[in-house]
């Protein structure tokens, strides 16, 4: 496996974000791991928040995260990076929706955005009791 600091883990890396900008935030010192890089759990949390925002504006009911598939941490995120999370619908089932989530960064010394993490998040529409509920898309 390639080292995350040495380059992309896959040759199939998009040149630009796909989907809607759902969240933008700044990576701060409090979000670092023991190596001084931004903690992967923090980034995963930001991606789940962005996916939830996307689903909330797309679906007429409460939705919960039920799965995260194919997460790929391609590059580290550093303190001071501006993190932009993009979301795009992959598929809609009867009660669930899969959303492609990409985290891109703009580093202070770079001229272009860099894809750092991507994955597919699955959300399920639920009723007031937490039971799966058919999805109704917003117009």
pLDDT band (50, 70, 90) for residue 5: very low
Q: What pLDDT sits at residue 31?
A: 96
pLDDT for residue 7 is more than 70: no
pLDDT band (50, 70, 90) for residue 11: low
Is the pTM here over 0.95, yes or no?
A: no
Q: How many helices (H) and strands (E) does the chain have?
A: 1, 5
CATH of the domain spanning 20-126, picked from 3.10.129.10, 3.50.50.60, 3.40.50.2300, 3.40.50.620: 3.10.129.10
Give buried/exposed letters for 25-41 (b at 16+ CB in 10 A, else e): eebeeebbeeeebbbee
pLDDT band (50, 70, 90) for residue 107: very high
Q: Residues 16-42: pLDDT tens digits?
A: 999 999 999 999 999 999 888 899 999
- Tokens describing residue 113: 């955005």
pLDDT for residue 50 is more than 90: yes
Q: What pLDDT sits at residue 120?
A: 98
The residue-averaged pLDDT of 76-82 equals 96
Nearest to 14, CA basis, from 115, 106, 98, 130 = 115
pLDDT for residue 129 is more than 90: yes
For the chain, what are the domain ranges? 20-126
Q: What pLDDT sits at residue 14?
A: 84
């Amino acid at each position: 496996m390639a080292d995350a600091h040495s380059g992309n883990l896959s040759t199939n890396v998009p040149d630009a974000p796909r989907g809607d900008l759902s969240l933008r935030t700044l990576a701060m010192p409090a979000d670092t791991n023991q190596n001084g890089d931004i903690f992967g759990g923090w980034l995963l949390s930001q991606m789940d928040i962005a996916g939830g925002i996307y689903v909330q504006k797309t679906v007429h009911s409460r939705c919960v995260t039920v799965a995260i598939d194919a997460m790929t941490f391609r590059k580290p995120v550093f303190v001071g990076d501006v993190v932009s999370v993009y979301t795009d619908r992959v598929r809609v089932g009867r009660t669930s929706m899969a959303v492609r989530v990409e985290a891109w960064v703009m580093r202070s010394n770079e001229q272009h955005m860099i894809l750092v993490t991507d994955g597919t998040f699955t959300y399920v529409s639920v009723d007031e009791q937490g039971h799966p509920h058919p999805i109704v898309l917003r117009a």
